[in-house]
Structure 1
Amino acid sequence: MNYHSHSNPKIKARFGDALLASLASDGGLWMPDSLPHFSPAQTAKMGAMSFADCAAVLAREFVDERYLTEDLRAICRDAYNFDVPMVTLGGELLDAATPEDHDEFILELFHGPTLAFKDFAARFMGRAASHLMKSSGETRTILVATSGDTGGAIGDAFLDQDGIKVFILFPKGGVSQVQEQQLCTMGNAKSNVKAISIDGTFDDCQQMVKDAFGDKDLTTKHNLMSANSINVGRVIPQSFYYFWTSLQAKAAYPSRPIVYSIPSGNLGNLTGGLIAKQMGAPIDRFVIGNNVNDPFVDYLGSGEYKPRPSVPTLSNAMDIGRPNNFPRILALHNGDYDAVKSVCWGASFTDAETERHIRRVHTETGYIMCPHTAVGHLAMEAFTADIDEPITKITVGTAHPAKFADSVETILHQNIPLPAPLAKAMRKTKRMHVMKPNLEALADYLAVHA
């Protein structure tokens, strides 16, 4: 598989080179030259595989000759050593062998080591990058901007990896208490992972990373590599779980259309789903749930894309006013607004609506949602309100609610037990550097610590 810059198709790269370069030389996002398409017979075989083995088959289509089939199988089995369950709000597991008559599921993508969906992309990316650097002896400095969960997943995936240093930029006061504790307690004082609190918004963090990559001297000096969803190595693996879980849902309910609702910020998760659909995954529609930072929902309604400064909300990981992956979504649909709108429907919700929904779902079912999952579930309810035909509704659960315990406990007036990894992080002493949102400050810090 070869890749090209979304803004200049003449700029080309292999997967490994695109992965390590992060952005194309013109600043464009890497896009695959083409997408594979699997026949129903092929997807039937893939649906019978484990998730990790299906992911390895899919990965084979996207990487280059430096990855052998056995390498990919080992990478995926190591990366995906946790469950990918679809459950009802009552806690029942979707089982293709003996499906009950359910039409609504939560795809819980938070059973990895950092309890967030970002683990899927980060763990594949970390192992894919390490595979290349072990053979080449190269080193890399990773810059990653996070609105909450990305930094934790990347830090965990690259912790103690030889030849790699990781610098995590997060907005001061813009992540949950649990998320900040997780970001700032990885490894020890001599660890290769360092947290930087930026006195600004997530958009400021993201712009600092973009500016760093736009500085050729800085990029060359430190061998910079991005682990944000601007990196194609983050986006491609997000197609794997849409592909495999849609096959499980179709096997259980073969006559029903399948609709996924995705709580969305930077649009990398949606991009992965759209790639899966174009590869032949049996997905009929995507519902996009935004908080009040909703430029993509506005675009779906008007055809005009108007990025704007982000504002803080309860669902902080989606506080993004300039989503990085919007150009990729356009590229996947040849810039055709009608084509995008034919597969995507969106709605946005306030914090007050999100809080009420978390309380209602818990009261009616006992299920506890994180604020982001709640936004996605609200969007699914809005989309299906006037649909009478039977469909399989799958809301993407992006993070364990305990990662947002400070807000969810206040909403529900009850304690949420912390899973073991979070409880351990909460007992540690935080280490972080506070920085103003400008490239000069970042360059000075890298000069000392990279």
Structure 2
Amino acid sequence: MKFYSTNNKALRVSFKDAVFNSLPADKGLYMPLEIPQLDPYFIKNIQQYSLQEIAFTIAQAFIEDDIPADVLRNIIADAINFDAPVKFLSSDTAVLELFHGPSYAFKDFGARFMSRVMAFFSGADDKLLDVLVATSGDTGGAVALGFLGVAGTRVTILYPKGKVSDIQELQLTTNGQNIRAIEIDGTFDDCQALVKRAFNDPELNEQLRLTSANSINIARLIPQTFYYFYAYAQLKAQGSDRVVFTVPSGNFGNIGAGLLAFKMGLPVEQFVAATNANDTVPRFIKSGKYEPKPSVQTLANAMDVGDPSNWVRIQDLFDYNLDNLKGMITTYTYTDKETRAAMEQLHHTYHYVACPHTAIAWLGSQAYRGEHPGSYGSVFLSTAHPCKFPDAISEQVFSKIKLPLGVEQLHNKDKVVEAFPVDYAVFKNYLITHK
């Protein structure tokens, strides 16, 4: 399979090049030259397959012979070694839990798969691979644990000062080994801009072998399609084959993966993008004008993105046709006050403890069902374990959470972090002088 840039459809690169280069020189994003179409028999009988079998089928459709089949199976078995269960809160509304991996966030799917793919491709190369990643909360922790101890790699994580939860920060800063953390005195957008500038700096790229672990990397996007197919398989096993997915959306990589799955043949009736106050995409859907704005801090910090990178991929999937986009994506936006109320209501009504992002997704699913009643499965995505957000959840509700063992252990580790202003020269100098 070849890949092109969203800014240059004449460009052709291999999967390996797309993974390692991550961001084309023209500042577009890589997309598959052709969207692979899955066998209708596979879709019709998908409930018969395990998550790992589904993941292998999808991954091979994109990667083809670039990774031998037996190696790819082993990569998936090692990377996707946790569940993504669909749990019904009512007869027609369910939650897809994506926080059962080691960092307790959905980004474990992408980070773990990508790290092992990179390790395979760089196995015969003795040049150190420098992985740069900007995080608004959960990406950094998933990437840190996904790459921790992976030979031939070094990870540098940038996160915004004071805008991640305590547990998220511990996941970024207590790993040691080949993982480094930098606290930026700015927003996630500032962190992302520094990383993107580094990728487009010829001088820096001559000295370092740089790649990205953000969702701009195609190797992050592909494995996120796995759990949409797996969720559908679980619904089919329950006798339902109509589904609407509601996705808490920040950088729009998660819902972008869902839309890619739809283009591959997954029968989804609608996607709902539920956002916090960072509503660049909902405003675009309504007005047709894409007007990014500086991100603002909210309870759902992983969604605090003012200029979502992956939106260009979604537009590319729909040939930049706004009417087609509107036909497949419904958007809703929620305040912190509404988010807090939703977390309380979820616990009161269903005895379910949700993180802020999950609560926003539930609100979106409820709003869509209210406007579109009918017989279908409404599945909203739970993207992070609620234990990561003690300051966002009421003390009474938070007390009901059983903390995973790994969270308790984080508090016994030493935190190591650099602190930088929003200054590319400072960041670049650090990378050069700390090879």
TM-score range, shorter chain: over 0.9
Aligned mates of 2:397, 2:41 — CA distance in 1: 47
Report the number of matched residues: 435
Q: Which amino acid aligns with 2:356?
A: P
Unaligned runs of at least 5 residues, structure 2: none
2:209 aligned with 1:223, yes or no?
Answer: yes
Cα pair 1:44 1:247 within 8 Å, conserved? no
Does structure 1 conserve the Cα–Cα contact (< 8 Å) formed by 2:340 and 2:392? no
Q: Distance in 2 between matches of 1:298 and 1:81?
A: 38
Distance across 1 between alignment mates of 2:398 and 2:164: 21
Query: 8 Å contact 1:243–1:277 — kept in the other structure?
Result: no
Q: Which residue of 2 aligns with 1:78?
A: 78
- Which of 190, 194, 211 aligns to 2:180? It is 194
Counterpart Cα distance in 2 of 1:411 and 1:3: 50
**Structure 2: which amino acid aligns with 1:125?**
M
Question: More displaced, 9-18 or 285-294?
Answer: 9-18
Is 1:387 aligned to residue 372 of structure 2? Answer: yes
Matched, 1:167 2:129: no
Is contact 2:204–2:432 with CA below 8 Å preserved after alignment?
no
Q: CA deviation at 1:199?
A: 0.4
Contact 1:47 1:54 in 2 (8 A): no
- Do 2:174 and 2:415's aligned partners in 1 also have CA atoms closer than 8 Å? yes
Report the TM-score when normalising by structure 1.
0.94
Please state how far the C-alpha of 1:220 moved relative to its aligned partner: 2.4
Instruction: Give the distance between the partners of 2:372 and 2:236, measured in 1 at CA.
Output: 19
167-176 or 58-67: bigger deviation? 58-67
**Could you say which residue in structure 1 is the equivalent of 2:410?**
425
Is 2:207–2:432's contact at 8 Å kept on the other side of the alignment?
Answer: no
- Report deviation, 1:252: 2.1
Alignment map for 1:241-256 (pairs within 5 Å): 241-254=227-240
Over 3 Å counting, the alpha-carbon distance change for 1:413 and 1:271 in structure 2 is closer
> Equivalent residue of 1:23, what SS?
coil
Q: Residue 26 of structure 1 aligns to which amino acid in structure 2?
A: D
For residue 411 of structure 1, report the CA deviation from its aligned partner.
Answer: 7.1
Amino acid at match of 1:51: L
One-letter amino acid matched to 2:195 = V
User: 2:126 matched to 1:141?
Assistant: no
Partner of 2:303: 318
1:85, 1:203 → 2: CA distance? 32
How does 1:96-245 map onto structure 2 within 5 Å?
A: 102-186=91-175, 188=176, 191-245=177-231
What is the match of residue 250 of structure 2? 265
Alignment check: 8 A CA contact 1:145 1:169 kept: yes
1:349-398 deviation line (CA, Å, top 9, x unaligned): 00000001101111112100000000111011111113331110100000
AA partner of residue 356 (structure 1): A
Q: Could you give the per-residue CA deviations for residues 285-326 of structure 1, whole angstroms, max 9, x where no partner exists?
A: 101100000111111222221111000000000000000001
- Tell me, in whole angstroms, the C-alpha distance in 2 between the residues paired with 1:43 and 1:138: 41
Question: 2:212 corresponds to which letter in structure 1?
Answer: S
Q: Is the 8 A contact 1:199 1:435 kept in 2?
A: yes
SS of alignment partner, residue 405 of structure 1? coil
CA distance in 2, matches of 1:280, 1:413: 39
SS of 1:135 mapped into structure 2: coil
Report runs of 4+ in structure 1 exceeding 4 Å deviation.
none
Distance 1:172 1:435 in 2: 9
TM-score (norm 2): 0.97
Q: Deviations over 1:394-433 (max 9, x none)?
A: 0000000001123214473636332111111122121101
Q: Does the 8 Å contact 1:52/1:76 carry over to 2?
A: yes
Which residue matches 1:353? 338
Residue in 1 that maps onto 2:15: 15
RMSD: 1.4
Which of these residues, 253, 271, 279, is aligned with residue 286 of structure 1?
271
| Residue number in structure 1 paired with 2:5 | 5
Deviation digits for residues 77-125 of structure 1 (CA, Å, limit 9, x no counterpart): 11111111001237xxxxxxxxxxx211100000000000000011110
Q: Which residue of 2 aligns with 1:97?
A: none
Deviation (angstroms), 1:246:
1.3
Counterpart of 2:89?
89
| Equivalent-residue separation in structure 1 for 2:92 and 2:400 (angstroms) | 30
Structure 2 distance, partners of 1:335, 1:113, is: 37
1:327 and 2:312 are equivalent in the alignment: yes
Deviation of 1:245 (Å): 1.5
User: Bigger CA drift: 163-172 or 35-44?
Assistant: 35-44
1:35-46 equivalences under 5 Å are 35-46=35-46
Q: Which residue of 2 aligns with 1:24?
A: 24
Mapped partners of 2:315, 2:210: distance in 1: 27
Partner letter of residue 442 of structure 1? Answer: F
- Offset at residue 65 of structure 1 (A): 2.8
Tell me if structure 1 keeps the 8 A contact 2:224–2:254: yes
Query: 3-state DSSP class of the match of 2:71?
Result: helix
CA distance in 2, matches of 1:357, 1:141: 41
Residues in 1 aligned to 2:395 and 2:197: alpha-carbon distance in whole angstroms: 38
Secondary structure of 2:123 counterpart: helix
TM-aligned CA deviation for residue 126 of structure 1: 0.5
1:338 maps onto 2:327 in alignment: no
| 8 A contact 1:2–1:12 mirrored in 2 | yes
C-alpha displacement at 1:3, in angstroms? 0.2
